[in-house]
């Protein structure tokens, strides 16, 4: 029911920011040739400051606190955080980035259908130009479950996105 009530607001955001809500399209092809589809602010790929983020599920709270200083620096300097944001500490980082007005490129293993739009808070971030969602699904069997292989591939792609100069 809340989704239906939110349709008008979402429609107006899409109309106000049509460049951010085009149909999902190929935004890049890494060296392996896999087509990466994206929706949201494609210009984040060209941002001069991007950093790949990968935290293990086994990370401890103490280790998280040692990372805080570096992460605060990246946020302060306006870096774009690149990650699948799967592990609990990666999700925690994404929440912090959102809270502080930062930007992110979020990778996923899910296919983007022609009419795909992010949902909830991710939709709002796209409409603000603070998020690009990138599907790495072309590297996997269609509708595959999230596996270790998929996570490793997405982390590899995140590193490539963060360290490669892209042009659209």
Question: What count of other Cβ atoms lies within 10 Å of the Cβ of residue 116?
Answer: 15
Helical segments of the chain, H only: 2-16, 61-76, 88-99, 120-127, 148-163
pLDDT tens for each residue of 49-108: 999 999 988 999 999 999 988 899 999 999 999 999 999 999 999 999 999 999 999 998
pLDDT above 90 covers a percentage of the chain that reads 41
pLDDT tens for each residue of 106-154: 998 888 877 777 888 888 888 888 999 998 887 666 556 788 888 888 8
The CATH class of 2-163 is alpha beta
In the prediction, which pLDDT does 1 show? 61
């Amino acid at each position: 029911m809340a989704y239906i009530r939110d349709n008008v607001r979402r429609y107006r955001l899409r109309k106000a920011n049509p460049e951010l809500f085009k149909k999902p399209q190929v935004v890049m092809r890494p060296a392996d040739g896999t087509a990466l589809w994206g929706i949201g602010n494609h210009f984040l790929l060209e941002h001069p400051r991007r950093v790949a983020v990968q935290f293990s599920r086994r990370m401890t709270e103490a280790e998280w606190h040692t990372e805080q200083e570096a992460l605060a620096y990246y946020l302060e300097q306006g870096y774009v955080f690149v990650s699948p944001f799967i592990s609990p500490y990666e999700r925690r980082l994404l929440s912090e980035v959102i809270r502080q007005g930062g930007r992110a490129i979020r990778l996923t293993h899910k296919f983007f259908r022609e009419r795909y739009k992010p949902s909830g808070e991710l939709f709002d971030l796209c409409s603000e130009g603070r998020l690009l969602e990138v599907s790495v699904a072309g590297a996997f069997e269609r509708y595959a479950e999230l596996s270790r292989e998929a996570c490793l591939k997405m982390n590899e792609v995140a590193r490539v996105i963060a360290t490669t100069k892209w042009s659209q």
